[in-house]
Amino acid sequence: MQTAKATNIFIPHGGGPLPILNDPGHATMVRFLTQFAASRPTPEALVVISAHWEADPIRITAGAEPELLYDYYGFPPESYHLDYRLKGAPELARDMHTAMRAAGIDCELDWERDLDHGVFIPAMLLYPAGGIPALQLALHPGLDPEQHIAIGQALRFLRDRNIMILGSGFSFHNLPALLRPEAVSQNANEQFQSWLLQTTTDTEINEADRQAELCRWSQAPYARLCHPRAEHLLPLFVCYGLGGGPAQCVFDNTIMEQRALGLQW
Protein backbone atom coordinates (compact mmCIF):
# COMPACT_ATOMS: atom_id res chain seq x y z
CA MET A 1 0.00 0.00 0.00
CA GLN A 2 1.39 3.39 -0.99
CA THR A 3 1.78 5.85 1.86
CA ALA A 4 0.08 9.22 1.37
CA LYS A 5 2.48 12.09 0.81
CA ALA A 6 2.38 15.48 2.48
CA THR A 7 0.17 18.31 1.29
CA ASN A 8 2.13 21.56 1.20
CA ILE A 9 -0.05 24.61 0.56
CA PHE A 10 -0.07 28.38 1.09
CA ILE A 11 -3.55 29.79 1.61
CA PRO A 12 -5.24 33.08 2.53
CA HIS A 13 -6.77 32.76 5.99
CA GLY A 14 -9.02 35.80 5.67
CA GLY A 15 -9.86 38.50 8.19
CA GLY A 16 -9.95 37.28 11.79
CA PRO A 17 -12.97 35.01 12.41
CA LEU A 18 -14.96 36.43 9.45
CA PRO A 19 -14.65 33.23 7.34
CA ILE A 20 -16.66 31.28 9.93
CA LEU A 21 -19.15 34.09 10.51
CA ASN A 22 -20.69 33.79 7.04
CA ASP A 23 -19.09 37.02 5.84
CA PRO A 24 -19.95 37.30 2.11
CA GLY A 25 -16.50 38.67 1.29
CA HIS A 26 -15.01 35.30 2.27
CA ALA A 27 -17.46 33.04 0.42
CA THR A 28 -15.00 31.93 -2.28
CA MET A 29 -12.30 31.16 0.29
CA VAL A 30 -14.69 29.16 2.48
CA ARG A 31 -15.89 27.16 -0.51
CA PHE A 32 -12.33 26.47 -1.68
CA LEU A 33 -11.05 25.24 1.69
CA THR A 34 -14.10 23.06 2.27
CA GLN A 35 -13.80 21.44 -1.15
CA PHE A 36 -10.02 21.12 -0.93
CA ALA A 37 -10.13 19.07 2.25
CA ALA A 38 -12.94 16.87 0.94
CA SER A 39 -10.83 15.93 -2.08
CA ARG A 40 -7.84 14.65 -0.08
CA PRO A 41 -7.05 11.98 2.53
CA THR A 42 -7.28 13.24 6.09
CA PRO A 43 -3.73 14.02 7.26
CA GLU A 44 -2.14 12.56 10.36
CA ALA A 45 -1.26 16.07 11.54
CA LEU A 46 -1.31 19.75 10.60
CA VAL A 47 1.86 21.84 10.60
CA VAL A 48 0.82 25.49 10.36
CA ILE A 49 3.05 28.48 9.71
CA SER A 50 0.80 31.35 10.75
CA ALA A 51 1.39 35.03 10.00
CA HIS A 52 0.29 35.82 13.56
CA TRP A 53 3.22 34.49 15.58
CA GLU A 54 6.80 35.75 15.53
CA ALA A 55 9.52 34.62 17.92
CA ASP A 56 13.28 34.85 18.31
CA PRO A 57 14.48 32.14 18.63
CA ILE A 58 11.89 30.57 16.36
CA ARG A 59 9.46 28.47 18.37
CA ILE A 60 7.37 25.37 17.73
CA THR A 61 4.27 24.57 19.80
CA ALA A 62 4.75 21.25 21.58
CA GLY A 63 1.91 21.05 24.10
CA ALA A 64 -0.30 17.97 23.97
CA GLU A 65 -3.59 19.81 24.64
CA PRO A 66 -3.46 23.29 23.06
CA GLU A 67 -6.37 25.69 23.46
CA LEU A 68 -7.62 28.29 20.96
CA LEU A 69 -5.90 31.66 21.20
CA TYR A 70 -8.42 34.38 20.30
CA ASP A 71 -5.90 36.89 19.01
CA TYR A 72 -8.42 39.17 17.34
CA TYR A 73 -10.50 42.05 18.63
CA GLY A 74 -13.91 43.65 18.16
CA PHE A 75 -15.82 40.69 16.73
CA PRO A 76 -19.16 39.18 17.84
CA PRO A 77 -19.17 37.31 21.20
CA GLU A 78 -19.67 33.90 19.59
CA SER A 79 -16.27 34.17 17.90
CA TYR A 80 -14.65 33.96 21.37
CA HIS A 81 -16.49 30.80 22.41
CA LEU A 82 -15.88 28.38 19.56
CA ASP A 83 -16.63 24.71 20.12
CA TYR A 84 -13.56 23.35 18.35
CA ARG A 85 -10.62 21.26 19.50
CA LEU A 86 -7.29 20.33 17.96
CA LYS A 87 -4.85 17.95 19.62
CA GLY A 88 -1.18 18.78 20.01
CA ALA A 89 1.64 16.96 18.20
CA PRO A 90 4.58 16.80 20.65
CA GLU A 91 6.53 14.04 18.88
CA LEU A 92 6.26 15.79 15.53
CA ALA A 93 7.37 19.03 17.20
CA ARG A 94 10.46 17.26 18.53
CA ASP A 95 11.26 15.88 15.08
CA MET A 96 10.99 19.34 13.54
CA HIS A 97 13.09 20.86 16.31
CA THR A 98 15.83 18.27 15.71
CA ALA A 99 15.84 18.85 11.95
CA MET A 100 15.95 22.63 12.25
CA ARG A 101 18.72 22.57 14.84
CA ALA A 102 20.70 20.19 12.61
CA ALA A 103 20.39 22.78 9.82
CA GLY A 104 21.79 25.49 12.10
CA ILE A 105 18.45 27.22 12.72
CA ASP A 106 18.04 28.53 16.26
CA CYS A 107 14.70 27.25 17.55
CA GLU A 108 12.97 26.11 20.71
CA LEU A 109 9.99 24.00 21.71
CA ASP A 110 7.15 25.95 23.32
CA TRP A 111 5.08 23.85 25.73
CA GLU A 112 2.68 26.63 26.76
CA ARG A 113 1.50 28.58 23.71
CA ASP A 114 -1.96 27.92 22.28
CA LEU A 115 -2.98 27.97 18.60
CA ASP A 116 -3.90 31.34 17.11
CA HIS A 117 -6.59 32.13 14.56
CA GLY A 118 -4.18 31.64 11.68
CA VAL A 119 -4.33 27.98 12.69
CA PHE A 120 -7.83 27.30 13.93
CA ILE A 121 -9.89 29.37 11.47
CA PRO A 122 -8.64 27.53 8.35
CA ALA A 123 -8.62 24.25 10.32
CA MET A 124 -12.32 24.70 11.14
CA LEU A 125 -13.07 25.06 7.42
CA LEU A 126 -10.83 22.21 6.35
CA TYR A 127 -11.75 19.77 9.13
CA PRO A 128 -14.85 20.96 10.98
CA ALA A 129 -14.99 17.85 13.20
CA GLY A 130 -11.60 18.79 14.71
CA GLY A 131 -9.52 16.33 16.65
CA ILE A 132 -6.53 16.40 14.27
CA PRO A 133 -3.07 16.76 15.88
CA ALA A 134 -1.75 20.22 15.07
CA LEU A 135 1.25 22.38 15.83
CA GLN A 136 2.30 25.89 14.94
CA LEU A 137 5.66 27.14 13.73
CA ALA A 138 6.56 30.77 14.41
CA LEU A 139 8.03 33.21 11.94
CA HIS A 140 11.26 35.00 12.81
CA PRO A 141 10.61 38.71 13.50
CA GLY A 142 13.49 39.70 11.22
CA LEU A 143 11.11 38.79 8.36
CA ASP A 144 14.01 37.78 6.11
CA PRO A 145 12.80 35.81 3.05
CA GLU A 146 15.98 33.76 2.67
CA GLN A 147 15.86 32.67 6.31
CA HIS A 148 12.29 31.44 5.93
CA ILE A 149 13.12 29.54 2.75
CA ALA A 150 15.91 27.86 4.73
CA ILE A 151 13.39 26.85 7.41
CA GLY A 152 11.32 25.13 4.75
CA GLN A 153 14.40 23.40 3.36
CA ALA A 154 15.24 22.06 6.81
CA LEU A 155 11.76 20.54 7.05
CA ARG A 156 11.79 18.64 3.76
CA PHE A 157 11.68 15.36 5.66
CA LEU A 158 7.96 16.13 6.18
CA ARG A 159 7.27 15.61 2.48
CA ASP A 160 7.27 11.82 2.90
CA ARG A 161 4.68 11.84 5.68
CA ASN A 162 0.89 12.13 5.55
CA ILE A 163 0.96 15.66 6.97
CA MET A 164 -0.61 18.90 5.80
CA ILE A 165 1.84 21.80 5.84
CA LEU A 166 -0.27 24.95 5.82
CA GLY A 167 1.26 28.34 5.11
CA SER A 168 -1.47 30.49 6.62
CA GLY A 169 -1.19 34.10 5.50
CA PHE A 170 -2.47 36.23 2.64
CA SER A 171 -0.93 37.11 -0.73
CA PHE A 172 -2.41 40.60 -0.17
CA HIS A 173 -2.31 42.18 3.26
CA ASN A 174 -2.82 45.91 3.59
CA LEU A 175 -5.30 46.23 6.45
CA PRO A 176 -6.63 49.71 5.59
CA ALA A 177 -7.29 48.47 2.05
CA LEU A 178 -9.08 45.37 3.30
CA LEU A 179 -11.33 47.62 5.34
CA ARG A 180 -11.59 50.22 2.54
CA PRO A 181 -10.94 48.52 -0.82
CA GLU A 182 -10.66 51.86 -2.58
CA ALA A 183 -7.45 52.54 -0.61
CA VAL A 184 -5.47 50.38 -3.06
CA SER A 185 -6.26 50.40 -6.76
CA GLN A 186 -7.24 47.17 -8.45
CA ASN A 187 -4.41 47.78 -10.90
CA ALA A 188 -1.82 47.80 -8.11
CA ASN A 189 -3.26 44.66 -6.56
CA GLU A 190 -3.39 42.87 -9.93
CA GLN A 191 0.20 43.72 -10.82
CA PHE A 192 1.66 42.34 -7.61
CA GLN A 193 -0.50 39.22 -7.65
CA SER A 194 0.42 38.56 -11.27
CA TRP A 195 4.12 38.91 -10.45
CA LEU A 196 3.75 36.48 -7.54
CA LEU A 197 1.81 33.97 -9.63
CA GLN A 198 4.36 34.07 -12.46
CA THR A 199 7.35 33.81 -10.14
CA THR A 200 6.05 30.87 -8.14
CA THR A 201 4.46 28.78 -10.90
CA ASP A 202 6.57 29.25 -14.06
CA THR A 203 8.13 25.84 -14.78
CA GLU A 204 10.77 27.39 -17.07
CA ILE A 205 12.46 29.37 -14.28
CA ASN A 206 15.71 27.96 -12.89
CA GLU A 207 15.27 27.31 -9.15
CA ALA A 208 18.22 29.48 -8.16
CA ASP A 209 16.70 32.32 -10.17
CA ARG A 210 13.25 31.70 -8.69
CA GLN A 211 14.60 31.81 -5.15
CA ALA A 212 16.57 34.98 -5.86
CA GLU A 213 13.51 36.63 -7.38
CA LEU A 214 11.36 35.69 -4.39
CA CYS A 215 13.98 37.07 -2.02
CA ARG A 216 13.69 40.37 -3.92
CA TRP A 217 9.91 40.36 -3.51
CA SER A 218 9.84 43.92 -2.15
CA GLN A 219 11.07 45.17 -5.54
CA ALA A 220 8.08 43.66 -7.35
CA PRO A 221 5.38 46.03 -8.69
CA TYR A 222 3.44 47.61 -5.81
CA ALA A 223 4.90 45.10 -3.36
CA ARG A 224 5.00 47.41 -0.35
CA LEU A 225 1.57 48.75 -1.14
CA CYS A 226 0.20 45.21 -1.07
CA HIS A 227 2.39 44.21 1.90
CA PRO A 228 3.43 47.17 4.09
CA ARG A 229 4.91 44.48 6.35
CA ALA A 230 5.92 41.01 5.14
CA GLU A 231 4.48 38.72 7.83
CA HIS A 232 1.45 37.56 5.82
CA LEU A 233 3.62 36.70 2.81
CA LEU A 234 6.41 34.84 4.64
CA PRO A 235 4.51 31.58 5.24
CA LEU A 236 4.67 31.22 1.44
CA PHE A 237 8.48 31.29 1.62
CA VAL A 238 8.53 28.43 4.11
CA CYS A 239 6.23 26.41 1.84
CA TYR A 240 8.44 27.17 -1.16
CA GLY A 241 11.58 26.11 0.71
CA LEU A 242 9.90 22.87 1.65
CA GLY A 243 8.59 22.27 -1.87
CA GLY A 244 11.78 23.21 -3.69
CA GLY A 245 10.20 23.83 -7.08
CA PRO A 246 7.37 25.50 -8.98
CA ALA A 247 3.97 25.70 -7.35
CA GLN A 248 0.53 25.00 -8.73
CA CYS A 249 -2.06 27.73 -8.36
CA VAL A 250 -5.10 26.26 -6.60
CA PHE A 251 -6.91 29.47 -5.62
CA ASP A 252 -7.05 32.75 -7.55
CA ASN A 253 -10.05 34.79 -6.53
CA THR A 254 -11.12 37.76 -4.46
CA ILE A 255 -11.43 38.04 -0.70
CA MET A 256 -13.00 41.23 0.62
CA GLU A 257 -12.69 42.66 -2.90
CA GLN A 258 -8.93 42.03 -3.18
CA ARG A 259 -7.37 39.36 -5.38
CA ALA A 260 -5.63 36.62 -3.41
CA LEU A 261 -3.74 33.45 -4.34
CA GLY A 262 -3.50 29.92 -2.97
CA LEU A 263 -0.42 27.93 -4.04
CA GLN A 264 0.41 24.25 -3.63
CA TRP A 265 3.80 22.51 -3.89
Question: How many structural domains compose the chain?
Answer: 1
Report the pLDDT value the prediction gives residue 115, as an integer from 0 to 100. 98
Secondary-structure percent of the chain, ordered helix, strand, coil, rounded to 5: 45, 20, 35
CATH number of residue 212's parent domain: 3.40.830.10
- The answer to whether residue 27 is domain-embedded is yes
- The 10s digit of each residue's pLDDT in 165-193 is 999 999 999 877 776 766 667 888 999 99
- Give the C-alpha separation, 144 to 122, whole Å: 25
Q: Which helix (H) or strand (E) holds 247?
A: none
pLDDT at residue 153, as a whole number: 98
DSSP letters along 179-217, please? HSGGGS-HHHHHHHHHHHHHHHH-TTS-HHHHHHHHHTG
Domain assignment present for 2: no
* Sign of the CA dihedral with 263 first, then 230, 95, and 87 last: negative
Rounded Cα distance between 251 and 44, Å, is 24
Asked if 231 and 169 touch (Cβ cutoff 8 Å), the reply is yes
Q: Are 171 and 235 in contact (CB under 8 A)?
A: no
- What pTM, to 2 d.p., does this model score? 0.95
Q: Say which DSSP state 122 is in.
A: H
Query: What does the alpha-carbon distance between residue 251 and residue 193 come to, in Å, rounded to a whole number?
Result: 12
Residue ranges making up the domain that contains 92: 7-264
- pLDDT at residue 1 in the model: 42
- For residue 115, the cross-strand partners are 68
Is 60 within the bounds of a domain?
A: yes
**What single-letter amino acid sits at 253?**
N
What pLDDT score does 180 carry?
73
Q: Is the dihedral of CA 68, 70, 71, 75 positive or negative?
A: positive
7-12 and 58-61 beta bridge pairing: unpaired
Per-residue pLDDT at 50: 97
Residue 128's CB is within 10 A of a number of other CB atoms, namely: 11
- Per run of 10 residues, the mean pLDDT along the chain (length 265 residues) is 80 96 96 94 96 98 98 96 96 98 98 98 97 97 98 97 97 81 78 98 97 98 95 98 98 94 98
Structural domain includes residue 1 = no
